[in-house]
């Protein structure tokens, strides 16, 4: 029996190996009822395997999976009270939309009237009413995706599992469905475990974001915590677009107190790093934190512009940091800020936005 709070689903000390290849190790994950947990990570990090293990489609090498106060590790998917939306949607090609929705209920011998009611409800929520008698091959990608979600919600399971459900949609649709999924989650009140490699989905959907790296949980917590206080350079680089700027620097103590020097540029050290001894560091500076120098963001260097991307609502400026070799840097400026190649921009940053990592281990230095 688990101690303390009973979660909707809990993964304990999970290990999964295919032959000699270890795919997951020492994974512990607790999902409270009603939570929306997103598993994110690069390809091959084990996030899909973890989801499939929770679903019961893969069995773990060791460790256990609990649903409520039941150990479901040895149970087949059908006995876990879950529903899953597959990346390919996995609709039954020979069944109409209506039959696809009703399939799971029919297998459970739900009364016909109740099936009809639940299918009608789901199709109303998802706007499938006009499509009920079509076959999957007669639907567009977005429509299929909605049917796949419908198939999950008619079952009213304790838990929803999503395996990269938006990766086959175009960008505009993806943004739209992303919002729908979160709304649906809030409306249905189930617990959701969601796998994606897309950081925008991860950031926007999650209550709890779980970043996996090589089969282990690198960091888990609210999305903004991961974004602002990454435990490692890996997490910092994974989240955020454009990627965080990482510059090699030195933490030095002078008469004026602690400083970070990057080439000839100098940065002041945020409060939380003041206890550190002088050492080499990796300085993480997010592009949107780097702005033209101002009172709040005192100048620490000059950017020589080599290239810029004007997106209309903002502009990403690529350049090199003067006096720091050829250190490439990306900063974000307002779109009304005109730049041209060859410009020299004085850039600054608010001290508290600086994060430091150990150059060898890549761990954050603020612990």
Partner 1 sequence: MKAWLVSILLVVVAFGFVLGDCRSTAANRIVLWHAYRGAEEQALLELTARYEAQTGTTVEVLAVPFLAYASKLSSAIERDQGPDVFIDAHERLGSYRDDGLVVHADAAFPKDDNERYDAIATKVARDDEGVAWGVPFALKGVALILNTSLVEGAPDSIESLVKSRNDGAYPLAYEAESAYVHAPWLHAFGGSMLGPNDAYGFTGEPARKSVLFARSLVSSGLVPASADGALVKQLFESGKAAAIIGGPGLVSELPKGLPLRVMPLPRMHAAASAPEPFLTVELLFLAPRSVARPEVSAFARFLASDESARTRVRAQVVANAATWKGAEAIAPHLRAFHDAALASRPMSTRTAMRATWEPVEQAIRSAMRAPNIDTASLDAILVESARRFESSKPKTTSASKARGFTAVAVTLFAAALVAYRSSRPRFWSGLRASAGAYAYVMHAAIAVFVLVVLPLIAGAVTSFFSGPRNHMTYAGIGNYVDILTARGGPLLGYGSFYRTLLVTIVWTIANVTLHVTIGLALALLLSRPLLRLRGLYRTLLIVPWAVPSYVTALAYKGMFHQQFGAVNALLRKCGAEPVSWFSHFSTAFAANVATNVWLGFPFMMVVILGALTNVPKDVLEAADVDGATSWQRFRHVTLPLLLPQLAPAIVLGAVWTFNMFNVVFLVSGGEPDNQTDILVSEAYRWAFTRHAQYGYAAAYAVLIFGILWLTSRLSRRWQTEVA
Q: Kindly report the three-state secondary structure assignment for every residue of 137-184.
A: HHCCHHHHHHHHHHHHHCCCCCEEEEECCCCCCCHHHHHHHHHHHHHH
Contact call for residue 50 and partner 1 (CB under 8 A): no
In angstroms, give the least distance from the CB of 161 to partner 1. 8
Contact call for residue 167 and partner 1 (CB under 8 A): no
How far is the CA of 59 from the CAs of 48, 72, 158, 162, in angstroms? 13, 10, 20, 18
In angstroms, give the least distance from the CB of 174 to partner 1. 20
**Which residues from 60-79 bind partner 1, rule CB under 8 A?**
76-78
Which is nearer to partner 1, 46 or 301 (by Cβ)?
46
Would you mind telling me the total number of residues written for the chain in this entry? 367
Per CB under 8 A, the segment of 1-9, 102-110, 116-124, 279-287 that binds partner 1 is 102-110
Q: Which of 9, 45, 51, 82 binds partner 1 (CB under 8 A)?
A: 82
Peptide bond into 286 cis (omega under 30): no
Closest of 27, 30, 12, 38 to residue 162, by C-alpha: 38
Q: Which of 33, 68, 86, 259 binds partner 1 (CB under 8 A)?
A: 86
In angstroms, give the least distance from the CB of 34 to partner 1. 21
For residue 332, report the phi and psi dihedrals to the nearest 5 degrees. Answer: -110, 135
Q: Determine the Cα–Cα distance for residues 352 and 297; give it in Å rounded to an integer.
A: 10
Contact call for residue 91 and partner 1 (CB under 8 A): yes
Per CB under 8 A, the segment of 101-109, 111-119, 174-182, 269-277 that binds partner 1 is 101-109
Q: How many CA atoms lie within 13 A of 177 on its CB side?
A: 24
Q: Determine the Cα–Cα distance for residues 40 and 211; give it in Å rounded to an integer.
A: 5
In angstroms, give the least distance from the CB of 78 to partner 1. 4
Question: DSSP alpha helices (H): ranges in the chain?
Answer: 47-55, 97-107, 112-126, 141-153, 171-188, 199-205, 223-228, 233-238
**Which residues from 105-144 bind partner 1, rule CB under 8 A?**
107-108
Contact call for residue 88 and partner 1 (CB under 8 A): yes
In angstroms, give the least distance from the CB of 317 to partner 1. 44
Closest of 52, 33, 149 to residue 91, by C-alpha: 149
Contact call for residue 57 and partner 1 (CB under 8 A): yes
Closest of 222, 217, 225 to residue 29, by C-alpha: 217
In angstroms, give the least distance from the CB of 71 to partner 1. 19
Which is nearer to partner 1, 82 or 125 (by Cβ)?
82
Which is nearer to partner 1, 1 or 107 (by Cβ)?
107
Which is nearer to partner 1, 2 or 104 (by Cβ)?
104
- Interface residues with partner 1 (CB under 8 A) are 55-57, 76-78, 82-84, 86-88, 90-94, 103-104, 107-108, 151, 155, 161
């Amino acid at each position: 029996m688990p101690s303390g709070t009973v979660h909707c689903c809990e993964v304990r000390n999970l290990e999964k190996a295919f032959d000699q290849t270890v795919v997951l190790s020492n994974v512990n994950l607790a999902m409270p009822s009603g939570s929306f947990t997103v598993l994110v990570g690069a390809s091959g990090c084990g996030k899909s395997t973890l989801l499939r293990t929770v679903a019961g489609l893969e069995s773990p090498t060791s460790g256990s999976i609990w649903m409520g106060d039941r150990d479901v590790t040895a149970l087949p998917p059908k006995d876990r009270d879950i529903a899953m939306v597959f990346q390919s949607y996995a609709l039954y090609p020979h069944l109409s939309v209506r039959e696809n929705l009703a399939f799971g209920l029919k297998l459970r011998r739900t009364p016909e009237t109740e099936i009809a009611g639940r299918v009608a409800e789901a199709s109303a929520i998802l706007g499938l009413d006009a499509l009920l008698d079509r076959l999957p091959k007669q639907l567009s990608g977005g429509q299929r995706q909605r049917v796949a979600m419908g198939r999950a919600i008619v079952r009213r399971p304790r838990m929803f599992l999503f395996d990269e459900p938006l990766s086959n949609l175009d960008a505009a649709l993806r943004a739209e469905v992303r919002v729908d999924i979160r709304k649906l989650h809030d409306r249905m009140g189930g617990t959701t475990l969601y796998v994606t490699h897309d950081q925008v989905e991860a950031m926007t959907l999650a209550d709890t974001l779980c970043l996996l790296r090589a089969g282990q949980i690198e960091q888990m917590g609210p999305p903004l915590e991961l974004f602002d206080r990454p435990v490692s350079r890996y997490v910092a680089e994974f989240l955020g677009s454009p990627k965080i700027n990482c510059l090699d620097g030195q933490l030095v103590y002078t008469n004026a107190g602690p400083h970070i020097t990057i080439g000839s540029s100098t940065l002041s050290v945020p409060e939380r790093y003041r206890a550190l001894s002088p050492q080499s560091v990796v300085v993480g500076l997010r592009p949107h934190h780097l702005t033209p120098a101002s009172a709040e963001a005192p100048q620490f260097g000059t950017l020589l512009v080599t290239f810029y991307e004007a997106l209309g609502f903002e502009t990403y400026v690529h350049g090199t940091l003067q006096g720091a070799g050829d250190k490439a840097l990306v900063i974000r400026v307002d779109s009304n800020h005109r730049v041209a190649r060859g410009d020299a921009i004085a850039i600054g940053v608010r001290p508290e936005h600086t994060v430091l990592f150990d150059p060898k281990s890549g761990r954050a230095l603020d612990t």
